[in-house]
Chains A and B, each alone.
Chain A
Amino acid sequence: MTSTSPASIVTFPRGHEFVPASFTIDAGRIAAYLDAIGDHGAYGDAVPPLAAVALALEALQSEISLPEGSLHTGQEVEHLAALAAGEPLTMSGRVAQRSERQGYVISVLELEVASAAGIAVRARATIMAPAAAS
């Protein structure tokens, strides 16, 4: 993790690689996540894949800020392997696409969450942010 202030998402060019972040998702965080969404399913000690994505996005907040008026317009998630509560994880991410249209910068962020066994979750988030924010 870096100690720099987060920069607006509109300032990152296509191809920009974010600094990989290490994190864990312990049982308490999973319980808080499931309680928040109201899911009472039986996950055992598995991390719900969308929780992994949400917390990977949280890890990105040290680098990216979303200006007022930003919209999350699309999401893709691919589950490749189970993740267990408490295991060390790494999030890597990059700006896969960037375009401008009608006063908005449209950025597609690609994220991968990996455990020691390899990549477990891939995600692509499409974010529209006002270009004037740059």
Chain B
Amino acid sequence: MTIEVAPVTRHITQPRINAYAAASGDHNPIHVDPAFAAGTPFGGTIAHGMLVLALIGEMMHAAHGDAWNTTGKIKVRFKAPTPAGSTVTASATLSKQADGVAEYAVQCATEREVVIEGRATVQVAE
């Protein structure tokens, strides 16, 4: 059985970043202090990498349900920062399915570039 994975698109606003900082306990000023971040090479605040990666987790959970929570694997590189205000789309393309394991090429991209790239696997019924 082949399972299609629907993309997830989300606007990564500063309030969302602030909420993630509160939920995760990561209050690094590069994420939550616009005045500080303006003086860094990024020129402004950027989203937590784990916040953007969570879109891949959401997308895979939506497609695979509990199997994702108990058999899923992700391996990704954070290729570029995600500036506050970006719209991010997470997507997955099935690259292989064999022996009860589906492997997807996954990525998160803003309007400008790919910010996360890697692969995800999950056990599936055959």
Contact = CB atoms under 8 A, between A and B. Distances in A.
Contact of A57 (B19, B26, B30, B71): B26
A36 B26 contact: no
Contacts of A61: 25-26
A55 B24 contact: yes
A contact face: mostly helix, strand, loop, or mixed: mixed
A82 B70 contact: yes
Given A39-B58, A72-B78, A74-B78, A79 B51 contact: no
B23 A33 contact: yes
Contact of B26 (A43, A49, A58): A58
17 contacts: A32-B19, A36-B16, A37-B51, A37-B58, A43-B61, A43-B69, A46-B69, A48-B54, A50-B54, A55-B25, A57-B26, A57-B50, A71-B78, A73-B77, A75-B49, A75-B78, A77-B72
Interface of B: 10, 16, 19-20, 22-26, 28, 30, 40, 48-51, 53-55, 57-58, 61-62, 66, 68-78
